[in-house]
Structure formats: structure tokens, C-alpha cells
Chain A
């Protein structure tokens, strides 16, 4: 019962971080900033969801397989992010910088 409650909490928290990753992919101004959203929030969100599902499932063979999926996401999601960012850098995509320094109020628009 306690494991169920903890699991559901972790799953809902993971869904929140996945939502943040998705919104960040739309709101942030340029490609390199969007990489932050997918590389961090999505990794944590997916890890939390799988961890919660493991807690609900209990100690079975399926749980061990889910643990493999968790390790796999933990290792490959940052690597995939890095590969895409590296490809963008090599093909000459320039990062976006804040134009007027010190003016925090400026909204970040794409391009």
C-alpha cells in the first residue's frame, strides 16, 4: 500500500517534469536552449515514471527489465542530446545570446 502511494507520487512527479520538458521545447528561444529542456527535464521525468512503475510492480522479473530501461535512458538521453548539439554546431548553427545586457524583462522570442 505504501509502495503504491510512493509509486503514484513518483509517476505524477515524472509526468510533471515531462510536461516541463515539452513546454520548454516550445518556449525557449533557440536550439541550444531547447536542448537543456530535453536533456535534463525529460531524463528526470522518464526516470521518475519508470521508478514509480517499478515501485508499483514490486520485486519481479518485469521490475528488473524496467530497471534496465531506466539505466538505458539515464545513459542514452544525454548522449543523444549531445550528438544532436554537436551536429548543429558542426553545420554552423549559431547560438542565441541576449542582446541588451541587464534587461531581464525582455521576453525571449524565437529567433
Chain B
């Protein structure tokens, strides 16, 4: 019963993750796109965790989650640094 809950929950989560994709595709400035990408990244972290619960292999997926979180943070900081120094709007 519990595994079923996690499977359905990860389906709902996938739908939630798809919403910011609109901002990534449409966004008027490059910063909007980056914000959407960051939001997708942090939510994907939770999705990986939930999939770990659904498949009962949490010991493996938790490490992937931590690595993904660190990677996502570094990407956002690096791109923000790059965009902040470059004097351009879109």
C-alpha cells in the first residue's frame, strides 16, 4: 500500500515539475529561464528521493539525491556569477 502511495505521489510530482518548464521556454529574460531551471532542479531532487521509496532502494537513491542537490546549487551559483559580470539583458 505504501509503495503504491509513493508511485502515485511521484506521478503528481512529475506534473508539478512540468509547470516551471513553461517559464524556461517562454521567460522574457535569461534570469527567468534560469530561475525556472533552478526550480526544476530542486524539485527533481525530491522526485529522486520518492522514487527511491517506491522501489525500496533508498540506500542507493539518497546518495544520488545529495549529489544532485550539490550539483544543482553549484550550477545556479556559477551561472549567476557569469550573468552578473556580463553586462547584457537577454
A residues apposed to B, CB below 8 Å: 4, 8, 11, 14-15, 18-19, 21-23, 25-26, 31, 34-35, 38, 42, 46, 49-50, 53, 56-57, 61-62, 65-66, 68-69, 72-73, 76-77, 79-80, 83-84, 86-88, 90-93, 110-111
Question: Is B69 positioned at the interface, with any CB of A under 8 Å from its CB?
Answer: yes
Q: Inside 8 A of A4's CB, which chain B residues have their CB?
A: 2
- 7 pairs of residues in contact across A and B, judged by CB atoms under 8 Å: A4-B2, A19-B16, A34-B32, A56-B2, A65-B62, A84-B80, A91-B84
B residues apposed to A, CB below 8 Å: 2, 5, 9, 12-13, 16-17, 19-20, 22-23, 28-29, 31-32, 34-36, 38-39, 42-43, 45-46, 49-50, 53, 58-59, 62-63, 65-66, 69-70, 73, 76-77, 80-81, 83-89
Chain A: which residue is nearest B75 at the CB level?
A80
Question: In the complex, how many residue pairs between chain A and chain B have their CB atoms under 8 Å apart?
Answer: 131
Given contacts A34-B35, A83-B80, A93-B89, whether A69 and B49 have CB atoms under 8 Å apart is yes
